[in-house]
Amino acid sequence: MKLIKVGAGVLNQTPLDWNGNASRIQKVLAEAREQQISLLCLPELCISGYGCEDMFFAPELASTAWEVLESLLPYTKDLAVCFGLPLRYRHHLFNAVCFVVNGKIHGLVAKQYLAGAGIHYEPRWFKPWPPGKRSLYQAGTNEIPLGDLTFNCGGVKIGFEICEDAWVANRPGRQFAMSGIDLLMNPSASHFAFDKFGVRERFVLEGSRAFAVNYIYTNLLGNEAGRAIYDGGAMIASGGKMCTIGPRFSYQESLLISTVIDLNQTRMRQSTIGTSNVDEKQLSDDHLKIEFEYPEQLPVPYRIVQESWEKGPYLYFEEFTRSVALGLFDYARKSHSHGFVVSLSGGSDSAAIALLVAKMIRLGVKELGVLPFCKRFLCKQKVFTDFEHLNRQDASQEEICRCITSHLLTCVYQKTRNSSQVTWEAAKAVAEGVGAKFYTLDVDPIVKQYDQLIADAIGRELTWQQDDITKQNIQARARGPSVWMLANLENALLLATSNRSEAAVGYTTMDGDTCGGLSPISGIGKSFLRKWLKWQEIEGNEDASSVPFLSYVNEQNPTAELRPSEQSQTDETDLMPYPLLDAVEKAAIRDKRSPVEVLICMEAEFPQFERNQLILWIERFFKLWCRNQWKRERYAPSFHLDDENLDPKTWCRFPILSGGFEKELQDLRNLLETE
């Protein structure tokens, strides 16, 4: 047996945080040495951060990254490590990894396939490296091999697939397998999206099986730059079998997984799947040779330790909870906010956001402990004093979490004459249920003042018959200044409460319910959100109890409560049933179907609705979609939770001014049945 211990380091980095990023890398390197790991894979662009955006164009960025790399070399004693960094070569920028062995740089491998779809913009900043090409990089007086390289490190042949390289059909691993590679490293920055982890798991397993290699995959963790959330989930596989998988959605700054691989087993598998013909590539030996000694290891059994929630029937609900909770945690602490403010309406959207903040606290405290959680989030002396008091009384973790929530989350219900007792009771139940501070403000006098101000200016009273939208909007906008004041007083992050379904049709008031520095659920449809809230009410997360106070919210029909109560306003009356709206949005925007094609799809999916009614709803959707692109352009940053969202900055670009699908909608209207 030829046994080697290998590892994958997961890092919660921040773009351009040179000292912090280096410190977290140093911590993982020290842990790797303590565990006698020999080969270590670190994430893509881990030195600079992946989300530097157009700062990648800055001339100093690549040179600073190189300086940080050189400062890390002394920490690689007895290790072979790959570091991800941006590399400027002949006036072009490349997404590269640097292979360092025992304190010395031995080569630079540049990414061949750049991610340019969805949230990714890599071709804007980087150039793809041509397969098979090699050159030399001048670093001071040293010439360092650069390009499509493989390494023979102490007798272990190593190649690289950098993130997107493994997602394409002609992945580099195919060529590496022909040259007898023992080990493939994949340093990645692969953001979370529903269904995505399973894809990663498949290409890691299939790569290790088809190429008969050991495969090390690592990833970033947390909310790195604002929108994308990285879930971690490092993996090590060998010959089509998973050796170990790291945790996802962790609140740690870094994680390290490892296992012991048997190179003799790897090479035996390669000999059994070889082709009948041997070509020049297979016989060549152009790997860069590096002297390195591997300490003796004992065999260890493969250990796949995944949390039970990942195998449960409600994976989407669990992933939504944990991804947004982690995203909120990192966004707030990296923006130096001291907590959150939510304008509670008594409806599902604001209730979901308040609950997600509470989940963030509970999940964070469970993993980190009380004081480490608070030290990473904020340092308020009063908070620590309260904890000491609770600890002396042997308070339960639930009591401590509620204490933290009371410091970090402020909720406010802002009523007008059109608000009901039902929604006030629901808002109060949610705030008390999660343990938040709760205020009730009466903004109706402010609304009346605005009404009278404009009435005096135009010489007539405003009426619901003539000025419906105006009178609705001023109520929502009148709530903005007071909730912003609370956020300013607390030095807290104001969370906007609009969801994806509302964003699609502009069913939201700019500078009203869109007020906020972050819009955490604008990537989630209303129908999904309502199902998630019902699940939380009845069952709850895998590691927590149900949330019965949500019944106050779940029993209501969604309503903006901006018209007089006698009009019985509901969202679905104003728009259409939410499940249908979300289905139309996916067909029209994600799949780019014409209005007529959308009708065909909806007739199959919603046979309970008459054709004429579906046509009216579909026409309403397309008109509202086109009319409200300007609103989507102005939304606060949102979390990227799937790969087909409506955020014009990360996926769905649409002209602010357009022809409005007039021809296509006429084709749809021509299908109206006449009696």
Q: What is the mean pLDDT of each run of 10 residues along the chain (675 residues)?
A: 95 98 98 97 98 96 98 98 97 97 98 93 97 95 96 97 95 90 97 96 96 97 97 97 96 97 92 62 77 92 80 92 98 96 97 98 93 78 61 77 94 96 97 97 97 97 96 96 97 96 96 95 96 95 83 93 91 96 97 97 98 98 98 95 88 94 97 74
β-strand 235-238 against 214-218: which pairing, if any?
Answer: antiparallel
In the chain, what are the domain boundaries? 3-306, 311-442+525-558, 575-675
Same fold, 311-442+525-558 and 575-675: yes
Classify residue 495 as left (phi > 0), alpha (psi -120 to 50) or beta.
beta
**So what's the pLDDT on residue 382?**
55
Q: Which CATH architecture has domain 311-442+525-558?
A: 3-Layer(aba) Sandwich (3.40)
**So what's the pLDDT on residue 284?**
62
Per-residue H/E/C for 165-186 = HHCCCCCCHHHHHHCCCCEEEE
What whole-number distance in Å separates Cα of residue 89 and Cα of residue 310? 43
In this structure, what DSSP letter does residue 39 have? E
How far apart, in Å, are the Cα atoms of 374 and each of 41, 322, 333, 371?
30, 18, 10, 5
575-675 CATH pick, 3.40.50.620, 3.40.50.300, 3.40.50.150, 3.40.50.720: 3.40.50.620
3-306 CATH pick, 1.20.140.10, 1.10.1740.10, 3.60.110.10, 3.30.420.40: 3.60.110.10
Per-residue H/E/C for 68-108 = HHHHHHHHHCCCEEEEEEEEEECCEEEEEEEEEECCEEEEE
**So what's the pLDDT on residue 277?**
54
**So what's the pLDDT on residue 178?**
85
**So what's the pLDDT on residue 546?**
85
Per-residue H/E/C for 181-195 = CCEEEEECCCECCCC
Q: What is the rounded radius of gyration, in angstroms, for the C-alpha atoms of the chain? A: 28
Locate 455 and state its tokens. Answer: 């009435």
Beta bridge partners of 319: none
**So what's the pLDDT on residue 675?**
45
3-class state of residue 282 by DSSP: helix
3-class state of residue 199 by DSSP: helix
**So what's the pLDDT on residue 398?**
86
pTM above 0.85, yes or no: yes
What whole-number distance in Å separates Cα of residue 162 and Cα of residue 151? 15
Give one DSSP letter per residue of 517-568, joined into a string. Answer: SBBTTTTS-HHHHHHHHHHHHHT--TTS---GGGHHHHTSPP----S-GGG-
